[in-house]
Structure 1
C-alpha cells in the first residue's frame, strides 16, 4: 500500500469531517455559503491547475461534458441541502444520514442498472432505514407538522444527490479530476448567481469571512487535491474504509466542540448506519478481488 496516498486520503477525510463545524462559524445560510465556496474553490483550483502546469497534460473529451455538467448540478444542489441540514439539526445527525449515499448508490444500481440483489444487501438497506428513523430523534407524536423532520430530510436529499454525483462520475474517464472540479464549481457560481442574497455578505465580520472562504479553499480546494491525488494509488477497499474517517471526525467535533450528545436511541441509529455502510465496504472489496 502507498503510505503517502494513505496519509493524503486520511487527512482529506478528516478535514471534510469538520466542515459542519466551520459552516456554522461562517454565519451564512446554506445557499450563500455554497456560493462563496464555489467561488473560492474555483479560484484556488484554477490557479493551482495553471501554476502547476497540469493544464498542459489535459484532455478535453467532448463526450464527457454532459456527465461533467450534470454531475456539477447534482454536486452544487447536494452542497446546498447538506449545509441546510446543519441549520436544522445536529451535525452528527446530518452527517450520519448523509453517509447513506453509498447505500443509495446500491439501490439505484438494483433498480436501474439491473445489478444483482442480495439478501444481505436488503438487510443492510433495512438496517440503514431503521437507523435513519432512530437518529432523527422523531417520535410518532411529533410527526404531524413537525419542523424537526426538516434537517434529517435535507440530509437525506443531500445523500441522494451525492449518490447521483457518484454515478455520473463513473462516466468521466479521461478528463482530469482538477478540470472536472473546476468546471463543476464554476457551474455552481453561475447556478447560484441569480438566487444569492448579496446583502447578507455586508453584515459578515472578518471572522465570518475567514471561515466562509476557508470552507472553499480548504474543505473543497485542498481536500479535492488530496482526495484525487490519492485515489489512483489505493485499492478500493482501503478507500472505502477511510471514508469512515469523515463521519467519525464530524461526530467527535459535534460532541467535543458543540456539546451535542446523542440519546441512546440516536446512538443505536448511528451504529446501525455504520453497520449498513460496512456492507458497501465488503461489496467493493469482493468486486475488487474478482
Structure 2
C-alpha cells in the first residue's frame, strides 16, 4: 500500500531545496536587494493571483477590514525581511546568513510569549541559548566568500531579517481562517506597491541575464515554492516537517561552498550545527487533532513567512 505521506514529503523537500538556492539566484541577478524583493513580489504575486483565480479561491473570499489590515502589515514585515536578508548575503555569505536567519522559530516563540501570553518552556530557553551561542561562534570565526572575516553588519542584518520573519508569522497566526495562498498573494501585492518607489534608487538590472534570474526567483522560488509548501505541510507530521526543513540551510551551505568557494572552518561549522539543532528541533508535546478525522494535524509557518493551515480555509 502506498504511503500517503510520500507525495507531501517530496513536495515539502522540493520546496526546502528551492529555498536553499534563493541566495545564489539573488547574487547571480546582480541587482540590489530592494530591486530583487520588488521583482519577487511582482512576478510571484501575479502568478499566485492567477493560481487563486484558477482554483476558485477568490470567488468566495470576503475579507474583513481587519483581515486586510493584518495581511497588509504582514506584507510590510515580509518584504522588509527579504530586503535585510538579501543584503546580508553580500556582507557575509549565503550559508552564514541563512543559518543565522534560522533563529527565527525561537524568536517567534518569544513574540508569542510576550504578546499572546503563551508559556515558554525551559527547554525552549535552553534551545535559544544554544542557538545564539552558535551565532556568536559564527560571528567570531566565519569568513565570507572573499576569504575575509564576515562583517558584523551581515550577521546583524540576518538576525534583523529573522525578527521580521517571526513578526510576519506572528501576524499570520491571527489569520489562520484565510487560505495561505490568498494571504501570500495579498502580502506580495503590498510588497510590490511598497518597493516600487525604491526602483528610482536601485533599478532593475539592465542585462537580460540579470532579469532572467529575477524572473526565475519570482516563478520557481516564489509561486511554485509556495504552492508546493501549502500542498504538503498540512499532510505531514511535525517531526517530518522539522527534519526535512534542514534541507533549506544545508542546501544553502552546500551551494555556498560549491558555487561560491566558501571555506567552512570547524568553529563555523560547529556554530552552524548549534543554531540548526536548536532552532529546527521539533518541540515536545501533542499536536491538535482534526475535528473531522481525529487525526493529528500540523500548523506551522513556512519560509515565506505566512501561516500554513493544516486544512483548507475559506
TM-score with structure 1 setting the length: 0.89
Q: State the shift of 1:175 in Å.
A: 2.1
- CA–CA separation in structure 1 for the residues paired with 2:196 and 2:118: 39
The structure with the largest helix share of the pair is: 1
3-state DSSP of counterpart to 1:170: helix
* RCO higher in structure (CA 8 A, sep ≥6): 1
Question: How far, CA to CA, are the matches of 2:51 and 2:123 in structure 1?
Answer: 44
Deviations 1:75-95 (A, max 9, x none): 111111110111111111100
TM-score w.r.t. length of structure 2: 0.83
Partners of 1:32 and 1:197 within 8 A in 2: no
The structural deviation recorded for 1:3 is 1.8
What is residue 142 of structure 1 aligned with on the other side?
none
**Contact (CA 8 Å) 1:36, 1:212: kept in 2 or not?**
yes
Within 5 A, what are the aligned runs for 1:191-206?
Answer: 191-197=194-200, 200-201=203-204, 203-206=205-208
- Provide the C-alpha distance between the structure 2 equivalents of 1:166 and 1:260, rounded to a whole number of angstroms: 31
Q: Please provide the CA RMSD for this pair.
A: 2.1
Q: Displacement of 1:278 after TM fit?
A: 4.0
Aligned to 1:143: none
Task: Please show how residues 16-95 of structure 1 align to structure 2 within 5 Å.
Answer: 16-95=19-98
Hey, what does 1:252 align to over in structure 2?
254
Q: What residue number does 1:14 align with?
A: 17
Q: Structure 2: how far apart are the matches of 1:42 and 1:116?
A: 36
Query: Unpaired segments of 5 or more residues in structure 1?
Result: 140-145
Q: Distance in 2 between matches of 1:75 and 1:273?
A: 22
**Residues 16 and 221 of structure 1: is their aligned pair in 2 closer, same or farther, counting only changes over 3 Å?**
same
Partner Cα separation in structure 2 for residue 42 and residue 107 of structure 1: 30
- Give the aligned partner of residue 217 of structure 1: 219
Aligned length: 280
Q: How has the CA–CA distance of structure 1 residues 156 and 250 changed in structure 2, closer, same or farther, with 3 Å as cutoff?
A: same
1:228 and 2:219 aligned? no
Per-residue deviation at 1:150?
Answer: 0.8
Q: Secondary structure of 2:209's match?
A: helix
* Aligned 8 A contact 2:246 2:280 in 1: no
Comparing 235-244 and 179-188, the one that deviates more: 235-244
* Residue in structure 2 matched with residue 288 of structure 1 by the alignment: 287
CA distance 1:34–1:111, change in 2 (3 Å): same
Q: 1:61, CA displacement in angstroms?
A: 4.1
Which stretch of structure 1 is more off in the superposition, 233-242 or 9-18? 233-242
**Contact 1:88 1:148 survives alignment (8 Å):** yes
Residue 310 of structure 2 is matched in structure 1 by none
**SS of the residue 1:196 aligns to:** helix
